[in-house]
Structure 1
């Protein structure tokens, strides 16, 4: 008998990701970066008592940018974002994003697994993975 066989119909289940939050130094600058580089659209955001931005990831999912002091150091982080805390976003293919990052002089690394994925850090050192779904 498996764990799935022992589950009752009333057991709660996770159904997906609603939003992911990243801490940033300047919410307006971070919002511009994510809208220009990733093409994300801004969403309405209530006044939460501190600056921030909400961006659509599609499918009812969002990226929340929080302008708050970040306890994580920017220096000394692994060069490859896959070896650090990161957000992984699905894209059709990574090539157009690699071109945008290169045009901005931003470094990125490719996945070491051989799949179509790349890792970069945003303006605040947050690691982001883009996974090509082809």
Structure 2
């Protein structure tokens, strides 16, 4: 694997995500009235149904499915599924509002080094996963060198064991 070279494409930020939906109207209602996005102008040259929304520094482009009846609909809320995550001010307030709106959700907690992160997961009208969290309490720690190549605790443990073996061999 090649070593990271910083920002080879000179990226600046995430611009938008695109979501294929059964009904642009239902999805617009959800993203506006549940998540607080607002509609923005969409280029008239686009020759398919859709809508653009914006909020929190990111755009959401809703694309009407050509065959909406063929879109699979996820029913089970699985925090390990593809999702977009939003930081919130109050997890208590979010959970209260989801209950008021009768939106099914799943709760999860992550703990790292004594820091607890609370998460709520739920679906948009088409089954796309949304996460609301207080993730800003978890520090962002860049990985460097060999550790950056590790994608799991198992791999990290293997690397630590290999490093210990290398140290022991160097001492001989």
* Structure 1 residue 37, shift from structure 2 partner: 0.9
Contact 2:77 2:129 in 1 (8 A): no
Q: CA RMSD in A?
A: 2.6
User: 5+ unaligned residues in a row in structure 1: which ranges?
Assistant: none
Aligned residue pairs, count: 127
For residue 52 of structure 1, the aligned residue among 31, 50, 57 is 50
Q: 1:32 to 1:57 in 2, by over 3 A?
A: same
User: 5+ unaligned residues in a row in structure 2: which ranges?
Assistant: 111-115, 138-172
The answer for the alignment partner of 1:26 in structure 2 is 23
For residue 13 of structure 2, the aligned residue among 5, 12, 16 is 16
Which has the higher relative contact order, 1 or 2, with Cα contacts under 8 A spaced 6 or more apart? 1
Contact 1:109 1:118 in 2 (8 A): yes
Q: 1:54 to 1:97 in 2, by over 3 A?
A: farther
Q: How does 1:76-91 map to 2 (within 5 A)?
A: 78-80=76-78, 82-91=79-88
The answer for the alignment partner of 1:111 in structure 2 is 108
Which has the larger helix fraction? 2
Q: Which runs of 4+ in 1 moved over 6 A?
A: none
Contact 1:27 1:66 in 2 (8 A): yes
